Structure 1
Amino acid sequence: MTFAPTLGRWTQRLLPIAAALGVASIVPASHAAPDQPAASDSPPVFAYVGTYAPNGQGVYLLRQDPQTGALQQVGVYPSVPNPAQFAISKDTLYVGSESPKHGEVAAYAIDRRTGALTLRNQVDAQGKQTVYLGLINNQRQLLVANYGSGSVALFALAQDGSLGAASDVHQSVGQPGAAHPAAAVEGSFAASDHNGPHAHMIAADPSGQFAFSTDLGLDRIYQWRIDAEHGKLLPNDPPFINASSAGAGPRHFVFGADGKQLYLVNEEASTLTHYRLDTGKGTLTEAASLSTLPPGFKGTSFASDILITPDGRFVYVLNRLHDSIARFAVAADGSLSWQDDTWTRGSYPRTLTLDPAGRFIYVANQRSDHIATFKLDAASGKVEFTGQYTPVGAPSQLIFLR
């Protein structure tokens, strides 16, 4: 979650970045009326970007060129404060407010022809600083993680996608983790928020029967059984496991293509941990951890996000301050090996997203106020910068309408 001062590789701008970042209402980005889809032989591909104030003005609507990967701004929608976190269904965008004062979740109806948003309703997130949203149970329920308060919650969703009341809320308690990450590289001063509970992510496994949530502040991974019928999260046995190392700061995770592996990024230690998932019990067993930084690197960096290709062959991790995309190959047994890294072309990369066609990866560079576009070679897993920047103020997350 850290907002440490930037020390990364963004020492010069290779291309000028447009200053106009939108206004507090819909701003057409072309001569086409905002309520009409752009002329094309195929349906338009839309994406939404969450942002942080004051640079970010709300939820940004973008249109993708599927051939080049280029993104064009269509409009900006004012939303809850710091609308930085998303989950999306076929016709509803869920937006989480990463406000340190009060957490909220809003539901927006999506016009699939134009990408336009209309507010359905919004509810209390049952905590502060909402940092993760995840749909479960065939998109009939929503999981929420609140970083500021260290709570996780489960919400029912109405037939039209509107948010119902929270059906379950759990508040983490326990001793904070170590102030300094034991597994960090030499010279690292990475440390943040080991001062109490800080839930960072919650998501269901591929079967939908179990869920896992990370707590950066307590250095724990919680294990849950999902009672979808009654809208409950039931502690598994054991209810949690400790992080892979003291002060590691577990953050985001993905599941392997076979549904039997889980790969988790530790923010403070800048490590990637491989866990094996018992699909019958819904519990994790640690296998191995690797640094997300290149061999020989010394100093401070914070790992942020993780992405796995649909075929499960490659895993990508973002490093903030080092400002890189680390690429890992996945072996047949699920084990990982570091391959290389690529500069993000910006400062403090927060998230990375693969487009629906699997051809482009987009990196939200928070402190340089843009999204950088990379082409993905599906065979080798290598990424190459396309030269394209999309100006967005303090971007947090990009999500595609599929």
Structure 2
Amino acid sequence: MKKIVSITLVILAGLKLCAQNTYVFFGSFNHDKETEGIYVYELDTLKGKLSKITSAKGVLNPSFLTLSPDGKYVFACTESKTKNAGSVSSFEFNPEKKTLTFINSQKTGGENPVYLAAHKNGKWLINGNYTEGSTSVYPISENGLIQPRVQNFHFSEGSVNPDRQDRAHIHSTVFSPDFKYVFLPDLGADKIRTYQFDADKKEPLIEAEKPFIPTSLGSGPRHFTFHPNGKFAYCIEEMGGAVSVYQYNNGKLNPIQRINTHSDQFKDNFESSDVHISPDGRYLYASNRGNENNIAIFSISNDGTLKTVGYQSTKGHHPRTFTIDSSGKFLIVAHPVSGTAVVFRRNAETGLLKKVGREVKLNGVSTVQIRKYEPK
């Protein structure tokens, strides 16, 4: 009898797993509201194949996407790369009906929004505006409606490279693991700015005790991520072609390592872009654009430091962003220049990548997010 029950439970677990749907969300530099700007695909988690299920028009240049904690809403940076403009937009995603429905937009208070992060309580959204070097905070209603911004901080100072760093350029807005702090890598000022975040206040962003940590001059800090254990943080530097490693504790960063993301054959003109860690915390991945078009793979030691494993082609041109699914099984890359999205299967033991399925043609694809939805 016990054996029958056990077999039944295994079968039910398998059926539930099969019933789960994994969806992939892409934004694009569409440059025309009459063309598709956001796409939703379903990922076959056995073969790695992507199948389109829906899309949305009516938005311009959605350069970055993020999802609400419950996966019900998709938030997008819109009107990016549009002179004297910038907005954030909200959409409702219904996995049962496979629909993506526009809700509303709000002005960002800064030009060229490039990054968005949602608070774990689903009530706040914070974005970074690259060109004017600013960040804005928005309340989110229960129905996914973005309310007008309640805070907008502008930064002015630049750094040593007059062509790239004439002024501040906020390139990402990342919550700490406990959501009590926000970190803002500033490519223009060579700083990682820090703010406290009090979700119970009407104006939640408060300057931290230590308002920033400097990075190497001319490094251009871009994207930022935390180790799953919450003890370490990693910043990819676009202009320096490196990842800086930090010990993290209660809003404070302590630098412990800086390691190149590029191989020895590439000596200059770095264009590092994105950084993510596998869910098991064993490997870090960093993308390189420009002449390289690859992902640098690092193993992560117990003390948080990195060791180079190798470099693998992303099979496309200009890997601007990529992401890893929650199971750690797949890594998907968005290439805006070649207009392709490529799926790789991760080897959990070695950290290496293997291309699977066919690449998907998406004109100007700018960003990618993955989310698994449980059946209702």
Give yes or no for TM over 0.5. Answer: yes
Deviations 1:181-224 (A, max 9, x none): xxxxxxxxxxx521111110011100111111011111111011
Structure 1 position 54, deviation (Å): 4.1
Is the counterpart of residue 82 in structure 1 residue 30 in structure 2?
no
Match of 1:346 among 278, 293, 316: 316
Q: 8 Å contact 1:80–1:96 — kept in the other structure?
A: no
- Aligned counterpart, 2:140: 157
SS of residue paired to 1:312: coil
Is the counterpart of residue 386 in structure 1 residue 356 in structure 2?
yes
Is the counterpart of residue 203 in structure 1 residue 186 in structure 2?
no
| Matches of 1:130 and 1:308, distance apart in 2 | 24
Instruction: Give TM-score scaled by structure 1 length.
Output: 0.83
- Aligned counterpart, 2:6: none
Is the counterpart of residue 294 in structure 1 residue 272 in structure 2?
no
- Aligned counterpart, 1:24: none
- Aligned counterpart, 1:183: none
Q: 8 Å contact 2:343–2:355 — kept in the other structure?
A: yes
Is the counterpart of residue 217 in structure 1 residue 217 in structure 2?
no
* 1:165-176 paired onto structure 2 within 5 Å: 165-174=148-157, 176=158
Q: 8 Å contact 1:274–1:289 — kept in the other structure?
A: yes
| Matches of 2:299 and 2:104, distance apart in 1 | 42
User: Match for 1:155: what amino acid?
Assistant: Y
SS of residue paired to 1:163: coil
Is the counterpart of residue 53 in structure 1 residue 53 in structure 2?
no
Consecutive unaligned residues in structure 2, runs of 5 or more: 1-16
| Matches of 1:43 and 1:316, distance apart in 2 | 26
Q: 8 Å contact 2:271–2:288 — kept in the other structure?
A: yes
User: Match for 1:58: what amino acid?
Assistant: G
Consecutive unaligned residues in structure 1, runs of 5 or more: 1-39, 181-191
| Matches of 1:401 and 1:307, distance apart in 2 | 15
Structure 1 position 129, deviation (Å): 0.7
User: Match for 1:95: what amino acid?
Assistant: A
SS of residue paired to 1:48: strand
SS of residue paired to 2:173: strand
SS of residue paired to 2:149: strand
Structure 1 position 139, deviation (Å): 1.5
- Aligned counterpart, 2:8: none
SS of residue paired to 2:171: strand
Q: Per residue, is there more helix in 1 or in 2?
A: 2
Instruction: Give TM-score scaled by structure 2 length.
Output: 0.89
| Matches of 2:98 and 2:113, distance apart in 1 | 24
- Aligned counterpart, 1:242: 214
| Matches of 1:356 and 1:333, distance apart in 2 | 23
- Aligned counterpart, 2:12: none
Match of 2:274 among 277, 302, 305: 305
| Matches of 1:147 and 1:161, distance apart in 2 | 25
Structure 1 position 241, deviation (Å): 1.6
Q: 8 Å contact 1:59–1:79 — kept in the other structure?
A: no
Q: 8 Å contact 1:249–1:267 — kept in the other structure?
A: yes
Instruction: State the number of aligned residues.
Output: 348
User: Match for 1:179: what amino acid?
Assistant: N
Match of 1:145 among 104, 128, 135: 128
